[in-house]
Amino acid sequence: MPRLSLPLVLLVLALGALAASAREFEDDRGTGGREPRAELAPGNSATDGEGPAATAPGHPGTGPRVRYRDSVAIGSPSAGRLIRGVRLPAQGAHFFTWDPIRKTFPNRHWRRFGTDDLVRTTLRVVRAFGRAHPNAPRVAVGDLSRTHGGDFGPQFGSIGHASHQNGLDVDIYYPRLDRAERAPASVPQVDRRLAQDLVDRFVEAGAVKVFVGPSLGLRGPRDIVVPLVNHDNHLHARFAF
């Protein structure tokens, strides 16, 4: 094998570093390519979330695998960034992700990043909900934050988000009366009993705000559960870990 000159070796190393950087900091708009694979970080258990053993009958795969790492929420939900975000899996035994712009499953990977605490808490809430209501549809999880947080406005589809910028917000669609696994299209499609239970569980999990639809009559502590327009098909839970 021929020997490489020092300048050529340095060039090869530099190109390798650039390629690794490109893989780490993927395109926030998610254009092109397939969803990156999520692995378990050393020392973390898959059962922190849903786990391979928790796969629901009829749902393919081995259950979501989450690469947990210490995350940092910078700034506020309406003016912030996310450092070392954790990606919520596309689906699990008790949940699936919903793309609010394309109105399809799954949500694009770059729209479902949050802090490690947000992802853990969301998975634990939907797991407990699913076990308490085995005949209910899986919970539809919508947007969290972009890969590195930041602006999530109209340029990312529809009216966008005024918040969801620092990895501490998550949208959860209300279960449907017909048990279809998709977001409700109207208030009459919402199972209000199950919707109220989801609100209660996110409040109990420590949400500092839970925005709900003003047409649904959902209740909770006044300083936490707040009716807000454009939330008649989903709740918006915010945390402050």
pLDDT digit string, tens, across residues 221-232: 999 999 999 999
Structure tokens at 145: 């934050």
Q: Is residue 127 part of a domain?
A: yes
Query: Each residue of 23-67: pLDDT tens digit?
Result: 333 333 443 334 444 333 333 333 334 443 333 334 444 456 899
Q: Which residue has the tokens 């945390």?
A: 239
> Average pLDDT over the chain, rounded to whole?
82
What pLDDT was estimated at residue 65?
A: 84
**How far apart are the C-alpha atoms of 236 and 144, rounded to whole Å?**
10
Say if residue 8's pLDDT is above 90.
no
Amino acid, res. 142: G
Tell the residue number behind the tokens 């020997």, with chain if given.
Answer: 3
Whole-number Å distance between alpha carbons of 12 and 209:
50
- At residue 7 the predicted structure's pLDDT band, cuts being 50, 70 and 90, is low
In this structure, is residue 22 part of a structural domain?
Answer: no
Q: Which domain holds residue 130?
A: 27-238
Query: Buried b / exposed e across 99-122, counting CB within 10 Å, b at 16+?
Result: bbeeeeebbbbbbbbbbbbbbbbb
Instruction: Examine residue 171 and state whether it is found in any structural domain, yes or no.
Output: yes
Residue 17 domain-assigned?
Answer: no
Ramachandran region, residue 239 (left: φ > 0; alpha: ψ -120 to 50; beta: rest): beta
pTM of the model: 0.78
**CATH assignment at residue 91:** 3.30.1380.10
Question: 218 with 192: CB under 8 angstroms?
Answer: yes
**pLDDT per residue over 79-134, tens digit each?**
999 999 999 999 999 999 999 999 999 999 999 999 999 999 999 999 999 999 99
Q: For residue 235, what are its two tokens?
A: 């709740």
Residue 139 has pLDDT above 80, yes or no: yes
Let me know if residue 234 belongs to a domain. yes
Structural domain count, the chain:
1
> How many Cα atoms within 13 Å fall on the side-chain side of residue 6?
0
Residue 185 in any domain: the answer is yes
**For a pLDDT cut of 70, what percent of the chain falls above it?**
73
- Residue at 19 is within a domain: no
Query: Would you say residue 12 lies in a domain?
Result: no
